[in-house]
């Protein structure tokens, strides 16, 4: 699509996340909000406000038949994502889907297959990947500023909200997993998954969770998610052989810090009996904070969607990224059912190559 006209978008779902999408599409010079679709017409009308130029409808068909709708943004419950996305793709519309991409990797594969068969953009709304801090983390890692990644430690804890339909892993961990997929070289491709969940308040689902992901070359990632913590923490540590990044999303004055500190193994004997003679040195260098622009992540996300449509390329957080995150979440469920055992992650790379 080489035209410079504004692209038309319809937002499906006017509940929790839909209004945020509506606001950012309206604020973008790239987009024209054409329609808002929700079964609750009064709620959809409130989101639209007094504008008479935007169609408000409870029927998806009303949206899909319109020639001025280039893309459909889906902000409905996860169990409906697959059906709505496939209908939109088959109608020739590009699709943006709120996380998670689908309720299962099987449904996500159908979506990815259809998008590629139709030559259309399928984008996962992994919002954190468009924050200035995470974008800068990706740049620093790509530039080799950290060296080889040794470990990642991520904490996402707060008090509530206990969800009625999913456990704490499916509610909170997709954020951390999508960030890992975005910043790690080659994406999120763990060699296995081990997860333990607890339900100390008898809610009927895990409310506290610990997720361990062994990575290539001996590296490891750990994610802690919790609905029951009286304090709110949003932090990720990414340690490399050269430097360490610390992201604190709740510190607007210094969301990102870079530490030139670490541990070096200076010498290690080949003889196993003499390995205790290996010398450890501690590197104590400077700490600095990269300057970050202040802008809303969703604004950058809708711009990326427009650019990928116009340039005929896959977006940064495409359907494959959503599928990799879903594969890990399904492995989490298998691991918790097996008492926290390390389980394999369904590989998607070879399948994606065939699509």
Question: 3-class secondary structure for 220-264?
Answer: EEEEEEECEEEEEEEEEEEEECCCEEEEECCCCCCCEEEEEEEEE
Stated pTM of the model: 0.90
> 255 vs 74, 140, 234, 294, CA distance in Å?
30, 15, 10, 11
Q: What is the mean pLDDT of the chain?
A: 92
Orientation of helix 18-27 relative to helix 41-48, angle to 10°: 30
Q: Please indicate, yes or no, if residue 95 is contained in any of the structural domains.
A: yes
Q: Please indicate, yes or no, if residue 85 is contained in any of the structural domains.
A: yes
pLDDT at 261 over 70: yes
Two tokens, residue 64: 């899909």
Q: Please indicate, yes or no, if residue 276 is contained in any of the structural domains.
A: no
- CATH for 44: 3.40.50.720
Average pLDDT over residues 142-147: 95
Sequence-ordered list of residues with C-beta below 8 angstroms from that of 125, at least 6 positions apart, any chain: 21, 73, 96, 97, 98, 99, 301, 317
Q: Please indicate, yes or no, if residue 107 is contained in any of the structural domains.
A: yes
Q: Please indicate, yes or no, if residue 38 is contained in any of the structural domains.
A: yes
pLDDT tens digits for range 323-353: 999 999 999 999 999 999 999 987 666 666 6
> 295 vs 110, 123, 130, 157, 301, CA distance in Å?
34, 21, 10, 24, 11
Task: Report the number of distinct structural domains present in the chain.
Answer: 1
- What residue numbers bound the domain in which 84 lies? 7-128+297-318+347-354
Q: Please indicate, yes or no, if residue 240 is contained in any of the structural domains.
A: no
pLDDT tens digits for range 146-197: 999 999 999 999 998 888 888 999 999 999 999 999 999 989 999 999 999 9
Residues facing residue 198 across a β-bridge = 208
Q: Which residues of the chain form beta strands (DSSP E)? A: 7-12, 31-37, 55-57, 71-74, 94-98, 122-125, 149-159, 194-198, 208-214, 220-226, 228-240, 244-248, 256-267, 279-288
Q: Please indicate, yes or no, if residue 27 is contained in any of the structural domains.
A: yes
Q: Please indicate, yes or no, if residue 58 is contained in any of the structural domains.
A: yes
């Amino acid at each position: 699509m080489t035209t410079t006209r504004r692209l038309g978008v319809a937002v499906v779902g006017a509940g929790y996340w839909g209004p945020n999408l509506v606001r950012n599409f309206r604020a973008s010079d790239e987009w024209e909000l054409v329609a808002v679709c929700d079964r609750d017409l009064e709620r959809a009308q409130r989101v639209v406000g007094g504008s008479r130029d935007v169609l408000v409808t409870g029927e998806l068909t009303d949206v899909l038949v319109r020639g001025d709708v280039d893309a459909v943004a889906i902000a409905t419950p996860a169990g409906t994502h697959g059906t709505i996305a496939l209908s939109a793709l088959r109608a020739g519309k590009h699709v943006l889907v709120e996380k998670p991409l689908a309720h299962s990797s099987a449904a996500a594969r159908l979506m990815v297959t259809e998008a590629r068969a139709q030559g259309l953009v399928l984008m996962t709304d992994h919002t954190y990947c468009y924050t200035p801090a995470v974008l800068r983390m990706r740049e620093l890692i790509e530039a080799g500023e950290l060296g080889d990644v040794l470990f990642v430690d991520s904490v996402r804890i707060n008090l509530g909200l206990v969800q009625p339909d999913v456990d704490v892993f499916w509610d909170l961990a997709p954020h951390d997993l999508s960030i890992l997929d975005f910043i790690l070289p080659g994406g999120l491709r763990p060699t296995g998954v081990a997860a333990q969940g607890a339900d100390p308040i008898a809610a009927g689902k895990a409310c506290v969770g610990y997720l361990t992901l062994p990575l290539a070359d001996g590296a490891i990632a750990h994610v802690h998610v919790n609905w029951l913590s009286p304090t709110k923490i949003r932090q990720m540590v990414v340690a490399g052989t050269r430097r360490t990044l610390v992201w604190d999303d709740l510190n607007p004055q210094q969301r990102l810090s870079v530490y030139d500190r670490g541990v070096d193994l200076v010498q290690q004997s080949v003889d196993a009996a003499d390995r205790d003679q290996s010398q450890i040195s501690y590197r104590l260098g400077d700490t600095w904070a990269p300057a970050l622009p202040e802008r809303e992540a969703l604004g950058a996300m809708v711009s990326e969607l427009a650019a990928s449509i116009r340039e005929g390329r896959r977006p940064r957080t495409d359907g494959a990224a959503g599928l990799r995150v879903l594969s890990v979440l399904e492995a989490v469920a298998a691991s918790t059912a097996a008492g926290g055992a390390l389980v394999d992650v369904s590989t998607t790379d070879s399948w994606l190559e065939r699509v």
